[in-house]
């Protein structure tokens, strides 16, 4: 670990559960990780390259199939995983890794990683270049500069309630009207731990478990209120209308 680690907590941004460790890696460690990941095969998406280790990440559901393990995490990340586990803000193992490569103009759509798919803690390491990540919750919006060799840790409210994203642009605005160009390349290592159980969090607005429970209730609501109402008014429909609908008459006479 770099000797000049700067720890920033979510209270500085108003996002509880967010921790940013700047200088988490040394330059030598950064270069070792980049060489190792570049020796692996990349998968080409429409605008960026990715790698998946442990479990393949499904971007449609923002999760994984826990029955389809593709192998252990690569050995070259073991020191990083051990170091992350030792942090008070993490305290867990990881078994899924997604590697993303970004070039200028390419970003990440706003999202919350699926609640029921992964545990409470996510960790993302930035390599080769910086970026500005933005966070949204309702009308609230916060921006955070992620320096190269830093690690971003999301848990609790930051993990479950705030959507995070990287705007698709080639420059990032900074304070006092300044702007900085995106680097030629940025690589992120996002570590997760899968779980196979419903989510019981305190943030239902972004929770897939709560939304699925609501969908199960809807047929009963429809049957109790909507269908019963139509059944009740149906016998009186003809007698209460002064004239037939013109289009109905046209259809009947056709």
pLDDT confidence bin for 149, thresholds 50/70/90: very high
**When comparing pLDDT for 233 and 75, which is higher?**
75
Tokens of 75: 């050995």
Residue with tokens 């196979």: 196
pLDDT score, position 197: 84
pLDDT at residue 239 in the model: 56
Tell me the percentage of the chain whose pLDDT exceeds 70.
81
Per-residue pLDDT tens over the stretch 189-246: 999 999 978 888 899 999 988 777 665 544 554 555 555 655 655 555 555 555 566 7
Question: Which residue in the block uniquely carries the two structure tokens 């309702």?
Answer: 138
The whole-angstrom separation of Cα 157 and Cα 144 is 16
pTM equals 0.80
Query: Residue 22's closest CA among 1, 3, 6, 4?
Result: 6
- The candidate with the shortest Cα–Cα distance to 154, out of 193, 127, 99, is 193
- The 10s digit of each residue's pLDDT in 79-101 is 999 999 999 999 999 999 999 99
What is the rounded CA–CA span in Å between residue 36 and residue 32? 6
As a whole number of Å, the CA-based R_g of the chain is 25
């Amino acid at each position: 670990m770099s000797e000049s680690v700067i720890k920033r907590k979510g209270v500085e941004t108003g996002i509880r559960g967010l921790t940013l460790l700047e200088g988490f890696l040394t330059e030598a460690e950064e270069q070792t990780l980049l060489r190792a990941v570049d020796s692996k095969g990349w998968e080409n998406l429409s605008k960026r390259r990715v790698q998946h280790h442990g479990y393949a990440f499904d971007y449609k559901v923002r999760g994984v199939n826990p029955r389809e393990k593709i192998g252990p995490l690569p050995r070259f990340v073991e020191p990083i995983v051990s170091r992350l586990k030792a942090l008070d803000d993490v305290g867990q193992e990881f078994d899924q890794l997604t590697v993303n490569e970004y070039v200028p103009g390419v970003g990440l759509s706003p999202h919350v990683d699926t609640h029921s798919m992964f545990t409470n803690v996510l960790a993302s390491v930035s390599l080769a270049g910086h970026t500005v990540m933005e966070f949204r919750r309702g009308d609230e919006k916060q921006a955070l500069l992620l320096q190269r060799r830093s690690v971003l840790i999301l848990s609790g409210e930051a993990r479950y309630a705030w959507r995070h994203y990287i705007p698709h642009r080639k420059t990032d605005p900074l304070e006092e009207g300044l702007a900085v160009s995106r680097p030629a390349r940025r690589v992120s290592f996002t570590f997760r731990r899968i779980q196979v159980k419903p989510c019981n969090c305190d943030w239902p607005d972004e929770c897939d478990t709560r939304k699925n429970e609501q969908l199960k209730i809807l047929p009963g609501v429809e049957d109790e209120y909507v269908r019963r109402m139509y059944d009740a008014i149906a016998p009186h429909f003809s007698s209460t209308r002064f004239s037939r609908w013109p289009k109905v008459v046209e259809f009947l006479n056709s």
